[in-house]
Structure 1
Amino acid sequence: MKLLLAEDEAKLGRLLVHKLKKEFHKVDWVMDGQSALDYAMAEVYDVVILDWMMPELTGEEVCTALRKEGCGVSILMLTARDSVDDRIVGLDSGADDYVVKPFDFNELFARIRALARRSVKTFQEDIIRVGSLELNRTAHSLQVFEEHVLLTYKEYQLLEFLMANAGRVLTREQLIDRIWGFDADVSNNNLDALVKLTRKKLKDAKADKAIQSIRNVGYQIG
């Protein structure tokens, strides 16, 4: 599994990374909330582990932001707060599970495995296929001719919207609104750059479908 760990306590972070890697997991470790949000938006993870109290953004704020962006990754919250009200706040922000510090490492690892299993069952039920492209909407992953293609989160958002509307032309305004939000300070150049990077990945994977430019309108696939 590929995990993102956001923990600002250096000693605990190093210990968790060591133990998780011994469990044969790949781990990216960050020490503040903004970095956690950036990593989770840019990469595809099986489980994201968020400490509640971190610099820049709290775990709750990161979780809320990810869910607002439509990110469906499984999220496990770590916190010293053990009241029922605190647990409710964490779960209502979009977390899937909640572990109170200090915790038993074996229990933590079991909860991570459970979240991953739960995700796998969901992944199998939510797939879009267009030609050789197979997009897993819950895993945020793409396969071309059964080969995995690594996407950033925005590349995934672009392909999901285009594939869900295969054969239909989507305007630049629709795409920018869907990917960045209607009030974002984003230009057509940002969209064109994203399309260019995504096209290259499809071409490198020898996909039988491509993102087509519709002059003065937008893009389509299919």
Structure 2
Amino acid sequence: MRILLVEDEEYMAQAVAQVLEKNNYAVDLAHDGECGLDCGLSGIYDIIILDVMLPKRSGFEILKILRQQKIFVPVLMLTARSETEDKVNGLDLGADDYLTKPFEMQELLARLRALARRRQEISLPSDCSFGDILLNSHTLSLYCGSQSFKLTLKESQLLEMLMDARGGVISKNRIIEKVWGFDSDAEDRHVEVYISFLRKKLKALDANTTIETVRGMGYALKAGKEQARCFKNESAGLSSPTWLC
């Protein structure tokens, strides 16, 4: 999951980003409103953490433009001010949640998990499953039947993109922007290497779901004929595993 953090206090932004990365989030930083707006308009982010008081453009301005442009990524507003009027203004403009500085990192992580669950309920109604595979993006685990593999963070992000597309084609450029970052120097060969990694793991799991190459366009998931598998579901945080068939 890729997060955009728009925060002009660079020391604080770096500290928050380090904690988020340790919790398996990919993070891009923007330190002023203009840069934050440009990044937000790219549409590559799963969640945006947006400070209210920013140079060049305020968080409120950024949020208003994003919603006008039909970009409905979940937005968590940060502010040093606790006035009710500010919170109401942000929520009315389309913010999904609000956090007042200073805050505890555990609270920020909990709010991000809640926003991520809300996003998955909308975009991935089958609990991150496609064909006969299931992805737990929180634990970076890929399941097929009773077998499972631990993925790397980039493998999980790439596979989540393909699952989110529900069989649609995702271009290499889009994958680079989403998985490596907006300003990354990653190239097509990086995508090809990670696609190869995922294909090997799907084959090792004896999955019927495959990653198809669509020449000149990109990649897409294809479900095989046998889709009725049971999945071990640990994403709900239950003390004993449940099974989805």
Bin for the TM-score computed over the shorter chain:
0.5 to 0.7
Correspondence for 2:50: 50
Tell me the CA shift for residue 103 of structure 1: 0.4
Correspondence for 2:59: 59
Tell me the CA shift for residue 81 of structure 1: 1.2
Tell me the CA shift for residue 31 of structure 1: 0.1
The answer to whether the Cα contact below 8 Å between 1:142 and 1:151 also exists between their aligned partners in 2 is no
Cα distance, 1:87–1:202 mapped onto 2, change above 3 Å: farther
Correspondence for 1:11: 11
Unmatched 5+ stretches in structure 2: 126-160, 175-213, 221-245
Correspondence for 1:41: 41
1:151 and 1:93 map into 2 onto residues whose CA distance is: 31
Correspondence for 2:218: 205
Correspondence for 2:133: none
Tell me the CA shift for residue 151 of structure 1: 6.6
Equivalent residue runs for 1:104-115 within 5 Å:
104-115=104-115
**1:53 aligns to what SS in structure 2?**
coil
Equivalent residue runs for 1:167-206 within 5 Å:
203-205=216-218
Cα distance, 1:24–1:104 mapped onto 2, change above 3 Å: same
Tell me the CA shift for residue 24 of structure 1: 1.1
Deviations 1:176-221 (A, max 9, x none): xxxxxxxxxxxxxxxxxxxxxxxxx9833278xxxxxxxxxxxxxx
1:63 and 1:31 map into 2 onto residues whose CA distance is: 15
1:13 and 1:96 map into 2 onto residues whose CA distance is: 20
Tell me the CA shift for residue 119 of structure 1: 0.8
**1:203 aligns to what SS in structure 2?**
coil
Tell me the CA shift for residue 148 of structure 1: 4.2
Deviations 1:39-93 (A, max 9, x none): 1111411100000000111111100000000001000000011011111011111
TM-score, normalised relative to structure 2: 0.54
Equivalent residue runs for 1:77-88 within 5 Å:
77-88=77-88
Deviations 1:125-175 (A, max 9, x none): 6xxxxxxxxxxxxx9x973746644676xxxxxxxxxxxxxxxxxxxxxxx
1:31 and 1:21 map into 2 onto residues whose CA distance is: 18
Q: How many residues align?
A: 145
2:66 and 2:11 map into 1 onto residues whose CA distance is: 27
Pick aligned residue for 2:165 from 121, 140, 143: 143
The answer to whether the Cα contact below 8 Å between 1:142 and 1:150 also exists between their aligned partners in 2 is no
Unmatched 5+ stretches in structure 1: 126-138, 153-200, 208-222
TM-score, normalised relative to structure 1: 0.59
2:219 and 2:104 map into 1 onto residues whose CA distance is: 46
The answer to whether the Cα contact below 8 Å between 1:4 and 1:45 also exists between their aligned partners in 2 is yes
Aligned AA (1:55) = P
Percent identity of paired positions between Structure 1 and Structure 2: 38
Superposition RMSD in Å: 2.5
The answer to whether the Cα contact below 8 Å between 1:8 and 1:30 also exists between their aligned partners in 2 is yes
Correspondence for 2:103: 103
Correspondence for 1:212: none
The answer to whether the Cα contact below 8 Å between 2:63 and 2:94 also exists between their aligned partners in 1 is yes
Correspondence for 2:137: none
Tell me the CA shift for residue 30 of structure 1: 0.6
